[in-house]
Amino acid sequence: MYARTATAAVAAAALVGAGALLMSTADTQTTGRGTATATAGHTGTSTSIRTVSARTAEAKPVAPVVFAHRGASAYAPENTLAAVDKADALGFDWVENDVQFTKDGVLVVVHDTDLKRTTDVEEVFPDRAPWAVKDFTAAEIARLDAGSWFGPQFAGTRVPTLKQYLDRIERNHQKLLLEIKSPEIYPGIEKETLRVLSQQGWLDRKHVKNRLVIQSFGADSVKKVHQQRPDVTTGFLGTPAVADLPSYATFTDQINPSYTSISADYVKAVHALKGAHDKKLRVNTWTVNDAATAAKVAGFGVDGIITNTPDVVREATG
């Protein structure tokens, strides 16, 4: 795993017997270049559970879609336009990013909730500890060097705003897996994210259908996106217990867990259900950076792999 962008694993999911599950098709995510009713839930309430018809089980498996995590972040500074361009140069359509609010309400693309690891903020603003993203204006963040920490050839690289980022991936004809980061500390971030996406033309039919997924570790945040724009594809980052999957399927289209927390049985359990848009729930796993692990999770039947090294994963699974 690439040390600079290693992601902490979530708790291991409960396993279920394959005999209790219905197999689903491996319908693919666009790359650009039978229902049943059951009483379910740990809450004791009656829930309608939409399952995938067993008649689709014989579909031929396809290679997982590869998502460039924070851009091609093994080769360029994460979440920068340089990382987006590197993913494009390597031939990858899908890029993943993280959005947060500045002090003055501008959406910027950065992963950590503070600016210390990936910028020179401690040098530029030495008296502003703990250097939280939310404590700086967009203009102040625009002054920071977001590339030198990665390598001298990237000196002067900036933290992009979401608008700048969208302009770049539109120019590159790429697609976006957008993570709303730490929504609990950014009230209203879902509404503003959707507003910016709409302003930049990313909520038209073409983008919504083929080029955009919004995800978050916050279930409430994913629910808000689904409620405000029911047409947008959403993903939940994490590994819900199998018994809880039906409740997640009411507001999300994807269950996106850490690779350390899944098994073939767990993937089958997710695939057995239909999500918010009445299609098979999908599984995109993270953050897989080596060939052996990529081959292993591909064998589990995942739909997508999120990685810092997209070229390595493509070679191992394609």
Q: Which of 111, 207, 226, 271 is catalytic?
A: 111
Helix (H) or strand (E) holding 318: none
Q: Measured between alpha carbons, how far is 109 from 119 in angstroms, rounded to an integer?
A: 13
* Residues 6 or more apart whose Cβ sits within 8 Å of residue 155: 145, 147, 148
Q: What is the CA radius of gyration of the chain?
A: 19
Gap between the Cα atoms of 50 and 245, Å rounded: 11
Question: Which strand (E) or helix (H) includes residue 237?
Answer: strand 233-237
- 111 assigned to active site: yes
69 among known catalytic residues: yes
Q: Can you tell me the distance from the alpha carbon of 26 to that of 3, in angstroms, rounded to the nearest whole number?
A: 32
Contacts (Cβ under 8 Å, ≥6 apart) of 198: none
What would the DSSP string read from start to end of 128-143? STT-BGGGS-HHHHHT
Contact 282, 269 (CB under 8 A): no
Out of 69, 207, 226, 271, the active site residue is 69
Contact of 312 with 289, CB cutoff 8 Å:
yes
Look up residue 249 and give its DSSP letter: T
On whether the CB atoms of residues 121 and 130 are closer than 8 A, the answer is: no
Backbone angles phi, psi at 254, to 5 degrees: -140, 145
Widest CA span in the chain:
63
Q: DSSP code of 103?
A: T
Cα end-to-end distance, the chain, whole Å: 20
Residues taking part in catalysis: 69, 111
